[in-house]
Amino acid sequence: MGSRSTPRFRFTSRERPGTSERPRARNDQLLTVGMFIIPGAIIYTLFLIIPIIQAAYYSLFDWNGLGPVSDFFALGNYQRAIEHSVFQSSVVNSLIITSLSLLIQLPLAMTLALMVGRKLPGRSIFRSIFFMPYVFSEIITAIIWTFVYNPGGGLLNTVLGTLIPGYVPQGWLANRDIALVAVFFVITWKYFGLHMILYMAGLQSINTEIEEAARIDGASELQVIRYMTLPLLAPTIRLTIYLSVLGSLNQFVLIWILTSGGPANATQVMATYMYRFGIKSFNLGFGSAVAVLIFVISLIFSVGYQRAVMRRDYAGTV
Amino acid sequence: MSASMTKPFNRRMPPLRFVIARAGQYLVLIALALIILGPIVTAVLGGLKTTGELYSEPFGLPAIPRWENYTGIIASDTFWRQLGNSLIIVFGTVTLTVSSSALLAFVFSRLVFRGRELIFNFFTLGLLFPVTIAFLPVFIQVRQFSLIDSYFGVILPLVAFGIPGSTLILRGFFRAIPSELEDAAYIDGCGTLGFFWYVLLPLARPALGAIVVLQTIVSWNEYFLPLLVLTDDSKWPLTLGIMQFQGQFGTDWGRVMAFVSLLIVPAVLFYIVTQRYIVTGLTGGELKG
């Protein structure tokens, strides 16, 4: 490596006679690589990579974000977070949201993708409706659902009051026992369409003749789905599990606007905890430590999952 | 009906089990569609109602439409200024993300050089850090660059966090373009730059469209980054504006819903027009799996 500190092209036309038809100007290309990478690299490094590294550095200090960064605190911030019962329950809540997403949101998306299927009349209308909330901002979504869950005359209470005689209006987001589920429902409302779209795309790439052959051999529709369709969709399923876990661990804006982590921390997740105890209470050193903890959890999951599960999907592509 | 008439008719009819299954399918789909649309329709109709009407008759049309809910917002300079601010942030973010990612994707898909995969992996690292989580470290950096109260303090981080995903998607599309075209372009005397500009970019238009649309959605919807970076409220985008408005008129749901509708109706129209690109971007290229 030492003698090749400047990047060089691996195959020049002279080394590889097979590629010599391409009359490329090699020195030009080296320049092109540099010129093309630099604009993106500068912005990406300055505003993504360096901030993340800095977060790891600041997390070692007791720093309010205004004065000098001087009170070295070693791993004190990490210890404080890990020992804080609210942080512990926020990790649990994040894991609950993740599990609910995997157990409810993904199967729901899959069921709908199979139902809307490849040939149901009106499929594009249903697809458009189910996917629509994906484009709304979290802010708009949260405001609308604040009204839906309104304890007085909110939409949900009005609808349930009409359907169920003797119904007592609920404060959906004010009740410790149901607030997290109510929040999860909004997350599902907004995001299940994304997974449905991914499944539909996967379904379209499946060769229908294989399933047809199974049907002719006498397989029932459920058997076809269980033994043919789902295994063929496995790469898409693995991808959606990955996106769903990372998305759930990183839930923030919706929950913060809906409940700010309340009532009594019942909907506190890792990111809302970071905002509440890091930024709002002017403790950027501590907030950085929490941010690093969230990154590390995401990173461990991501690397482990890709190693264990997704490697074969990319085997041919890289 | 006589037997001779029902028989041929029956043969073309699907079996009863199939009809029931189909009806069940539609029932479930329609029920779910109502759950999705209910809150949206309520919000849009609610913009014309009083809070009392919204509570008692969420789905009905108002007896007297309260247009003043809307005119109150549209008549204010604040709304239009915030719309302008949102558009500045969207335009800056989209232009810079698309141009820098297209250049990167080209290098990582069509040029061969030492360390290419390593550098590419460096750029995909960012996928693990969504801006919704990383805004605290980003805010500290923006402050160090004295970009507080500058649009660039919002735009540049959004670009940085948009680059990994956009580059990944574009690279997938660029790679799918057959190398015969590249050879033909070189034989016709095109250089690397010429091939990129005259052949690759025009062919990858659907993918570029997808990136434009996805980045528009992300930057239009961003809330916490501008909240931290823009302390001067004359620079606030609409996401901050609506939260401020809700803070002021929180109990007057009619007015709040009018503001929500002013944002949601264009969003739905934008969605209908660009849906094809969104789906291409999310399911095509590398993500196909």
What band does A312 get if pLDDT is binned at 50, 70 and 90?
A: low
CATH class, range A85-314: mainly alpha
Give the number of C-alpha atoms closer than 13 A to the C-alpha of residue B14, restricted to the C-beta side: 7
The nearest CA of chain A is from the CA of B116 a distance in Å of 9
Whether B117 contacts chain A with CB within 8 A: yes
Asked if residue A206 has pLDDT above 70, the reply is yes
Q: What is the mean pLDDT of residues B40-51?
A: 85
H/E element, B224 = helix B224-229
DSSP state of B130: -
Whether B54 contacts chain A with CB within 8 A: yes
The answer to ipTM > 0.90 is no
Q: What is the mean pLDDT of residues A273-300?
A: 89
Which is nearest to B54 in space by CA: B66, B72, B37?
B66
Instruction: Give the pair of three-digit tokens for residue B62.
Output: 């108002």
Q: What is the mean pLDDT of residues A1-21?
A: 41
Which is nearest to B202 in space by CA: B229, B238, B166, B174?
B174
As beta bridge partners, residue A72 has A61
Quote the Cα angle for A279-A297-A259, to 5°: 45
Model pLDDT for residues B192-210, shown as the tens digit of each residue: 788 888 888 888 888 898 8
Is the previous residue joined to A169 through a cis bond, with omega within 30 degrees of 0?
A: no
Whether B168 contacts chain A with CB within 8 A: no
What band does A44 get if pLDDT is binned at 50, 70 and 90?
A: very high
The nearest CA of chain A is from the CA of B112 a distance in Å of 6
Kindly identify which residue of chain B lies nearest to residue A63, measuring between CA atoms: B140
Write down all domains in chain B, each with its CATH number in brackets. Answer: 3-68 (no CATH), 76-288 (1.10.3720.10)
Model pLDDT for residues B128-166, shown as the tens digit of each residue: 888 777 888 898 899 989 999 999 999 999 999 999 999
Q: What is the mean pLDDT of residues A49-74?
A: 84
Whether B31 contacts chain A with CB within 8 A: no
Q: According to DSSP H, which parts of B111-150 are helical?
A: 116-124, 131-144
Q: What is the mean pLDDT of residues B95-116?
A: 91
What band does A310 get if pLDDT is binned at 50, 70 and 90?
A: low
Model pLDDT for residues B221-248, shown as the tens digit of each residue: 999 899 989 998 899 999 998 898 888 8
The nearest CA of chain A is from the CA of B221 a distance in Å of 5
DSSP per-residue letters across chain A: -GGG-S---S--TTT-GGGTTS---HHHHHHHHHHHHHHHHHHHIIIIIHHHHHHHHHTTB---SSS-S--B-TTHHHHHHHH-HHHHHHHHHHHHHHHHIIIIIHHHHHHHHHHHTTT-TTHHHHHHHHHGGGGS-HHHHHHHHHHHT-TTT-HHHHHHHHHSTTPPP--TTT-TTTHHHHHHHHHHHHHHHHHHHHHHHHHHTS-HHHHHHHHHTT--HHHHIIIIIHHHTHHHHHHHHHHHHHHHHT--HHHHHHHTT-STTTT--HHHHHIIIIITTT-HHHHHHHHHHHHHHHHHHHHHHIIIIIHHHHTTT-
What band does A23 get if pLDDT is binned at 50, 70 and 90?
A: very low
Model pLDDT for residues B173-191, shown as the tens digit of each residue: 888 888 888 888 888 888 8
- How far, in Å, CA of A290 to CA of A276, rounded? 11
Domain boundaries, chain A: 85-314
Best of B173, B190, B248, B288 to mutate (most A CBs within 10 Å, chain A)? B288
Q: What is the mean pLDDT of residues A218-242?
A: 86
The nearest CA of chain A is from the CA of B3 a distance in Å of 31
As beta bridge partners, residue A61 has A72
Q: What is the mean pLDDT of residues A150-178?
A: 84
- How far, in Å, CA of B74 to CA of B61, rounded? 22
Q: Are the CB atoms for B273 and B209 separated by under 8 Å?
A: no
Question: pTM of this prediction?
Answer: 0.84
Kindly identify which residue of chain A lies nearest to residue B262, measuring between CA atoms: A140
Cross-chain residue pair B221–A52, CB shorter than 8 Å: no
What band does A28 get if pLDDT is binned at 50, 70 and 90?
A: low
Amino acid code (one letter) for B161: F
Cross-chain residue pair A189–B35, CB shorter than 8 Å: yes
Cross-chain residue pair B117–A318, CB shorter than 8 Å: yes
Kindly identify which residue of chain A lies nearest to residue B228, measuring between CA atoms: A279
The nearest CA of chain A is from the CA of B209 a distance in Å of 16
Kindly identify which residue of chain A lies nearest to residue B224, measuring between CA atoms: A253
Which residues on A lie below 8 Å from B183 (Cβ)? Answer: 21-22
Cross-chain residue pair B140–A25, CB shorter than 8 Å: no
**Range in A98-107, A276-285, B89-98, B275-284 the model is least confident about:** B275-284
Whether B91 contacts chain A with CB within 8 A: no
CA of A138: how far to CAs of A187, A189, B11, B242, in Å? 9, 11, 52, 12
- How far, in Å, CA of B101 to CA of B216, rounded? 15
Residue B186: other Cβ atoms inside 10 A: 17
Asked if residue B24 has pLDDT above 50, the reply is yes
Residue A16: the pLDDT is 44
Residue B196: other Cβ atoms inside 10 A: 21
